[in-house]
Each structure stands twice: as structure tokens, then as C-alpha cells.
Structure 1
Amino acid sequence: MVARAALGRGGRAVLGITGAPGAGKTTLVERLLAELAEHPPEGAGADWVAHVPMDGFHLADAQLDRLGLRDRKGAPETFDAAGYAAMLERVRTDTSETVYAPGFERDLEQPIAAALAVPPSARLVITEGNYLLLDEPAWHRVREAMDEVWFCDLDDPTRLERLVARHVEFGKEPDAAALWVDRVDQANAALVAATRARADLVVTTPARLA
């Protein structure tokens, strides 16, 4: 695995998990984190694996309003791709001190500065996001900063049902949630689907686990 290869060379590996909105990326990451924490490689400590999602690099609503992108929130241009790439590059190479990264508060729908920490002992960092394999200049640096990228796949009916339910959970009315999925999330999903062939591994998510 990428982490063991990194340990062998004395470095740190970055594993990316990508897929369309609602495909089960976070569920897959949570399962990986739980299993890997229980089975650290020889010479690694208990906190040898860390998690830094792409969501922390959402532009704040104030910036989206300034740019006229509030109704496109979640599209590639509503993220700080350069900042995300710079963080991944530092995470991959700087094992001398704790690296802090922004998180994302779902209740507020806003990024939170320095909410996440990657300790020097971490040898594998898992990151997740929709656009890790996007073939656009702003996102090429992101792919180059990762050792491998896995694509999380889920059948569309289940994925869409999950997306609507998620938006309702975080405050949208059911009709508004369905409209947002149709007008925004599905456009983003089409972009992500086109990147599937670039993944190192495709992981099909069982609907019951998504």
C-alpha cells in the first residue's frame, strides 16, 4: 500500500479519495481510518494516519458573493485549488512539525481555519474531494501532490437519494434540496464522472454502506 511504501523510504504518503457528490467518499474514508488505525505498519505510532478533506478549501460565502458564485457553491471555481495544492505539498514533505489545515463546518456551511492537524508522526494522509482528478490547470497541482487517487463509485439512484437527504438534513426544504441537486450537484457530478478513468483504483460502494 502507498503508506507502507512511504514508510520504506522514510517519507509520508498522500492518498486521495474522489467521486461524485453523494458517492460515499466520507464513508469510505471513515472505514479506512478505523481499519488503518487498528493495524499500523511496523515502526508507526497510533496516530500514523491523518485526514484532511478538500472541503476546508471552499471559498467563504463573502468571497462567493463578491465573485457572483453563491448559487454555484460546490463547483470547481468555488474552491481555492491553489491553496489546497499548497497544503497537500506541504503535508507530503514537512514531517518536522504539525501542519494545520482548514476544516468545514456543515452546520454553518463555512470553512474554519486551522481546524485540522497533521502531526509529525503521521505517515499516511487521506484527503477526499470531488475534483482531485479534474483535468484543468488549477487542479493539476492537486493530483501531482498525491501518491494515489481512488475513485468512489455508487449507482445514481442511491447517490441522488442520499444527496437530497443530506441537503434536507442541513436545512433545505425537500423541494429546494431536489432542485439544488438537479441544477448544481448533477452538473458537478458530470465533471467528476469524466475523471473516473484517471483513477488508480475504482472502489464500488455498496448501497447499504454509502
Structure 2
Amino acid sequence: MVGYGELVERARALAGSGQRRVLGITGAPGAGKGTVAAKVLQEIGDAAVVVPMDGFHLANAQLRRLGRQDRKGAPDTFDAAGYVALLRRIRAAEETVYAPEFHREVEESYAAEIAVPPDVPLVITEGNYLLLDTPPWSAVRDLLDECWFLAPDDEARVRRLIDRHVAHGRTPAEAAEWVRRSDEANAARIAPTRARADLVVFGDPR
């Protein structure tokens, strides 16, 4: 099993390459992408910045207009082209790039909240669809120097998802229904993309 020590060393090697590198962390909903990114960042410090894909959630008003609010989190509920454009600017490292950040407590993104200065050597981006092979998501893979796919125990992953939804206001029954109908449909779509990853991390890193 791959542990945090190995993941940190891989990230540290990218950061020490002498040029801007972009590390992707992907996997199904509830796989622990944000947790892994945060722990790697804690070890690397100022040499890295985390830019989550979730900042590109379409606003709730747009989801209502498009009739997609009941499946928020599906691939077509993101501004994928905007995310790709941001990654291209990040790779160029010519200027400070400002990225949006998603806030679960209000279920909306705030624009330009994350600053990525040009001298930061490593940008860590995490999200569900980094290895999806359908446009415009398919452009993401070539913008990543390395991508990890997290594959934890599915029972633990689903339990974490339900707990997360409950913590943000759903009843246990509502949370379980959303996970079964929406999150797990997305997980099934994401699962085959692990074949495109540089590293598959089975279980929860320790």
C-alpha cells in the first residue's frame, strides 16, 4: 500500500524539478482527494499551491436554468472548458493566476480566491474528472505532469460521502438517496479512468 511518505516524496521531486509542474489527484466522490492534497501541501509548504477542480462548479442559478440541479457534480455541471483554460495559464507560469474556490457551506464558488504566483514550482489540482476522456475534459490529462488515482475501500468511501452530506444539511435518508442516485453514478463513470493514471493508490494512505 502506498503511504503518505511516498506520496510526499513524489510531490517533492516534482516541486524540485526546476520548472512549473502540475500534479493531479483524482478518484470517485469521497475518495479523499482533498485530504491527500492537503496533507501533501502541509509537508511541502510554500513550494506548492492547491487548486481544486470544484471551483468550476456551475452556479446554482445556471444549474436551475439548465435543469441540472438535481445531479450537481456530474461532468456537465462544471465549466470544464474554463478549468482547462486555467490549467493552461497555470502551466505557462507567466503571471499570478487567480482561481475560484468552491464552498460547500453555501454550495457556490467564489471567484479569484486562490492565488497561484508564477514562482511556485508545484500546483496540485484535485477533482473527479481529471482523467475523463471526453471533451473538453480530455484536454486535462496532457496538462498534468503526473496524476494519482485514489481507490479507497468503497464501503468506507460511501460512508464518508453520506456523513459529508449530512454535515451540510441533508437528513440521513436524503444523503443516502443522493449518494446512491448521483454520487455513485459519477463514481461508475470515473472508475475506468484509472487506467490513465501514473499511480493508483489503493486504500487510504497512512
Q: Which residue of 1 aligns with 2:6?
A: none
Give the 5 Å matches for 1:1-210: 1=10, 4=13, 7-8=16-17, 10-37=18-45, 47-95=46-94, 97-206=95-204
Q: Please state whether the residue corresponding to 1:149 is helix, strand or coil.
A: strand
Asked if 1 retains the 8 angstrom alpha-carbon contact of 2:100 and 2:111, the reply is yes
In the TM superposition, what whole-angstrom CA distance separates every residue of 1:27-73 from its partner, at most 9, and x where no partner exists? 11111111222xxxxxxxxx221110000000000110111100010
**Closer/same/farther in 2, CA of residues 173 and 91 from structure 1, 3 Å limit:** same
| Residues in 1 aligned to 2:15 and 2:33: alpha-carbon distance in whole angstroms | 23
Q: Quick check: 2:149–2:194 contact (8 Å CA) kept in 1?
A: yes
- For 1:167 and 1:184, locate their aligned partners in 2 and report how far apart those are by CA, in whole Å: 12
Letter in 2 for 1:103: E
Deviations 1:160-205 (A, max 9, x none): 1000000000111110000000000000000111111111001123
Q: What is the aligned residue count? A: 197
Given that 2:11 and 2:40 are in contact with CA atoms closer than 8 Å, whether structure 1 keeps it comes out as no
Counterpart of 1:101 in 2: which secondary structure?
strand
| Matches of 1:122 and 1:135, distance apart in 2 | 29
SS of 2:124's partner is: strand
CA contact (8 A) 1:3 1:123 kept: no
Contact kept in structure 2, 1:55 and 1:129, CA below 8 Å:
yes
Q: TM-score, normalising length from structure 2?
A: 0.91
CA contact (8 A) 1:151 1:196 kept: yes
TM-score relative to the length of structure 1? 0.89
SS at match of 1:195: helix
The alpha carbon displacement at 1:5 in A equals 5.3
Query: What is the one-letter code of the residue matched to 1:36?
Result: I
Structure 2: gaps spanning 5 or more residues: 1-9
User: Following TM superposition, by how much is the alpha carbon of 1:120 offset from its aligned partner in structure 2, in angstroms?
Assistant: 2.1
Instruction: Give the Å deviation of 1:98.
Output: 1.4
Does the Cα contact within 8 Å between 2:31 and 2:152 map onto a contact in 1?
yes
Give 2:42's aligned amino acid.
Answer: A
Distance 2:76 2:12 in 1: 31
Moved over 3 A (4+): 1-8
